[in-house]
Structure 1
Amino acid sequence: MKIMLFISHPSHSKLLVLPTENGFVLPIVDAELLQAEMVGPLQSAVRTQLGYETSIGRQLFKRDNDYPQAIFEARLIDYDAGKGQWSDAKDIQRILLPSEASKHILESWIAEQKDIPRNRAKWFHPNFSTQSREWIFKEMNAANIRTCGKLDQVKASDFCLIERIPTTDGDLFFKAVSKASCHEAALTEYLHRRHPDLTADCVSVDNSSGWLLMRDIGGEPLRGNRNKKIWQRAIQEYSELQASEADTTDDLLAIGVPDRRIPKLKKEIEMYLRSMCDTGLDIKETEKIIELQPIILDMCDQLDFLPASIDHGDLHSGNIRTKNENFVFFDWGDASVTHPFFSTRVFWHALDELIDTEAEWLGIVDEFRPYYLEPWTRFAPMEELEKALRISDQLACVQRALSWYLYLTPSRENQQESYKRPSQWLRLFLEHRDLVGSDK
């Protein structure tokens, strides 16, 4: 794929251009990206093909049949333009562009630099790389850790930035998160103190910035492993972690983990259930959801006999790794203090990886329920827990819809990308009720 880059100066409104016989052009590289946010291959291509050390930003354009096929913004890490030159960003007349479309994109991008949108992720702002790298190297020096290579970007999205730092003591990872996940650094550090074998090892955190510097987790991802017994152990160990945190909710709230316990959930349902329907449900679906509101609120009351605890919020198999016979649970940016059983809904979806047909899904979920519930038998009889978990299978869909509607989508710049997520979760709620029978 041919990718054009708007490479800007680290601190000034200047654009890197390359001289040719006919005039100045913008840099273009060959790179293959599976997802726009997984920018590592593009950063590597700029490094090897152009000789520049950059921080890759947002994808501004993509169309497979055009030339270039994509356009990304980037910032030079140092001040040396090398074989290129710095051009005033406003002086685009001297730049040879391949099409009117690319000219329009460049003009829009230049105009935007004067008034950056409020919700743009901080790592896409000028000077972020300079500030974050100063902090990274300062914290590494304090921990007596030395680099042995260049920093590599892994991911850059509306929600987070992840960079890999090779060191003489193994790889470190730097993570910066959006305001919706600003508690992740403090929570990861807290959980590592209490459960050092079950969560990422923090070198340092900056709670005010939401920055996290952690050691490479290592091990193997649960995703791709079709050994059912390993998955069963994983959900049971996660449940044991939750049960052990059931008496620490005040501590969790004190470090900034969002409070989404049942009383608040009920208020959110009463206030926003109708407006969430407008994100993509049709008239009949909307009528059905509104008709079910009293039942949804009653579900909340039926679950409130168990203590609140930590809910990971996105417990799919990509956020679980196996290491030395242990499981490591990471990426806590969607976490909250709420009903613990809500965690299972995303995990149940991940069980698709262990089955061959959709018809097997309910059966394998039922097979996994006892492994999750066993640690909670210290709080209630198994019969009551089983009933609560089946209620949670439904209510968690509504809770997840609210997560997107109130917290995740409002925190990002490109809100259209996830605008329909609430309606998708509400539709899943209706489908699940049809699947299991509406009386359950």
Structure 2
Amino acid sequence: MSEPVWWPRAVAWIEANLDGRVRTGEIERVRERPWSTVATVPTTTGPVWFKANGPGLLYEAGLLRALGSLAPDRVITPLAVQVERGWSLLPDGGRTLRESAQDGLAAWERLLSEYAVLQRELVAHTPDFLGLGVPDLSPATLPGHLDRLLGEHELPEIAEQRPRLGELCAELGGSPVPLGLQHDDLHDANVLVDAQGRYRFFDWGDASIAHPFTTLLVSLRVAARRFELDQEAPEMLRLRDAYLEPWSDLGTPAELRRTLALTTKVGAISRALAWERALLGADESALAEWAEAVPGWLGELVNGPDLAARR
């Protein structure tokens, strides 16, 4: 991998922020994508991880610092962040849930339940997260985002459904569930299991302020593939209900399931926007490689059940 022009500055910043640790080997860039560069730093107390976000995801560094202060038992608290550059330096948090021996359905139920509890705990801090630059993808904003995307991508099937999609966004906007932070790419490879068996959520680069249930668009799809299950299988419904239970004071089971169905429909707009942010500033080869990401997610808007006919 060729060395980015900013890499020497990053190495100096890493060295200055190891918090008493001593580096024992070379800093290795282990992943380079248009949206981030990740490096591992061997030290006397174990590996430290460096992440440099691309221009569309700079807000993650400030968000990580805020989450480390607000929920230190549920996330990895960074050693240091450089907000303007989107840099973060984090201690090792253990193995991912996917890498662990406990990655079964029961672990996924716990993952989704604990994540929902975290979302509720963080609701009061939604204005602070917006102030950090976390994107506002509340239901009221989604039709405008969709109109802009349709102006940039020729997708006549979706354009035909635009009025109905607007109605679904409006219905979602009437949900009693408060807007809050949603991860948008939550699955077993973005959850760490530490030595005490605690789950810690990481990789918040796709996060937004939205209807909280939007997260499950990705989470339930990954789980269905992981366990080779249909979305309506009893095991999948238990995962859904494990997530919804912490919200049970805000609606009947039928109302919450309806709301979840809405978010997993119009949430495709959020996923398209996440990819758009991820590819901001990417070079031509990267844009060509990931060219279908944005229109591909928008295409999901015309797939699946007709929710307008289901109440």
TM-score, normalised relative to structure 1: 0.65
Count of residues in Structure 1 that have an aligned counterpart in Structure 2: 303
Q: Does 1:361 align with 2:231?
A: yes
Deviations 1:199-228 (A, max 9, x none): 112111111111101001113433675411
Give me the whole-angstrom Cα distance separating, in 1, the residues matched to 2:7 and 2:226: 41
Q: Does 1:248 align with 2:125?
A: yes
Give me the whole-angstrom Cα distance separating, in 2, the residues matched to 1:291 and 1:315: 31
1:136 matched residue in structure 2: 14
Q: Which has the higher contact order (CA 8 A, sep 6+)?
A: 2
Give me the whole-angstrom Cα distance separating, in 2, the residues matched to 1:267 and 1:409: 20
Aligned partner (choices 253, 256, 266) of residue 395 of structure 1: 266
Say which structure is richer in helix: 2
Aligned partner (choices 37, 51, 64) of residue 175 of structure 1: 51
Structure 1 runs not aligned, ≥5 long = 1-55, 58-74, 76-123
Structure 2 runs not aligned, ≥5 long = none
8 Å Cα contact 1:205-1:213 kept in structure 2? yes
Q: Does 1:378 align with 2:249?
A: yes
2:309 matched residue in structure 1: 439
Q: Secondary structure at the match of 2:79?
A: strand
1:259 and 1:220, CA in 2 relative to 1: closer, same or farther beyond 3 A? closer
Consecutive aligned runs of 4 or more in structure 1 exceeding 6 Å deviation: none
Q: Does 1:215 align with 2:215?
A: no
Tell me the amino acid that sits aligned with residue 204 of structure 2: W
Say which structure is richer in strand: 1
2:23 matched residue in structure 1: 147
> How do 1:266-345 residues align onto structure 2 when only pairs under 5 Å count?
266-273=143-150, 275-276=152-153, 278=154, 286-287=156-157, 289-304=158-173, 305=175, 306-323=177-194, 324-345=196-217
Tell me the amino acid that sits aligned with residue 401 of structure 1: A
Give me the whole-angstrom Cα distance separating, in 2, the residues matched to 1:409 and 1:160: 10
1:24 matched residue in structure 2: none
Give me the whole-angstrom Cα distance separating, in 2, the residues matched to 1:173 and 1:355: 30
8 Å Cα contact 2:123-2:181 kept in structure 1? yes
1:92 matched residue in structure 2: none
Give me the whole-angstrom Cα distance separating, in 1, the residues matched to 2:47 and 2:82: 19
Q: Does 1:197 align with 2:73?
A: yes
Give me the whole-angstrom Cα distance separating, in 2, the residues matched to 1:144 and 1:295: 57
8 Å Cα contact 1:222-1:322 kept in structure 2? no
Deviations 1:19-51 (A, max 9, x none): xxxxxxxxxxxxxxxxxxxxxxxxxxxxxxxxx
Q: Does 1:409 align with 2:279?
A: yes
Q: CA deviation at 1:389?
A: 0.3
1:403 and 1:174, CA in 2 relative to 1: closer, same or farther beyond 3 A? closer
Deviations 1:220-243 (A, max 9, x none): 433675411111000111111111
8 Å Cα contact 1:222-1:231 kept in structure 2? no
Give me the whole-angstrom Cα distance separating, in 1, the residues matched to 2:217 and 2:34: 24
Deviations 1:248-270 (A, max 9, x none): 11111112212222222221123
Give me the whole-angstrom Cα distance separating, in 1, the residues matched to 2:258 and 2:36: 37
Q: CA deviation at 1:353?
A: 4.2
Q: CA deviation at 1:187?
A: 0.7
Give me the whole-angstrom Cα distance separating, in 1, the residues matched to 2:27 and 2:8: 12
Q: Secondary structure at the match of 2:169?
A: helix
Give me the whole-angstrom Cα distance separating, in 2, the residues matched to 1:361 and 1:152: 40
1:232 matched residue in structure 2: 109
Tell me the amino acid that sits aligned with residue 422 of structure 1: V
Give me the whole-angstrom Cα distance separating, in 2, the residues matched to 1:221 and 1:335: 20
Q: Secondary structure at the match of 1:300?
A: helix
TM-score, normalised relative to structure 2: 0.90
8 Å Cα contact 2:109-2:238 kept in structure 1? no
Give me the whole-angstrom Cα distance separating, in 2, the residues matched to 1:145 and 1:160: 24
Deviations 1:132-165 (A, max 9, x none): 111111112xx22211222122111211111111
Give me the whole-angstrom Cα distance separating, in 2, the residues matched to 1:325 and 1:159: 30
Give me the whole-angstrom Cα distance separating, in 2, the residues matched to 1:231 and 1:223: 13
Q: CA deviation at 1:361?
A: 3.0
Give me the whole-angstrom Cα distance separating, in 1, the residues matched to 2:141 and 2:160: 21
8 Å Cα contact 2:54-2:280 kept in structure 1? no
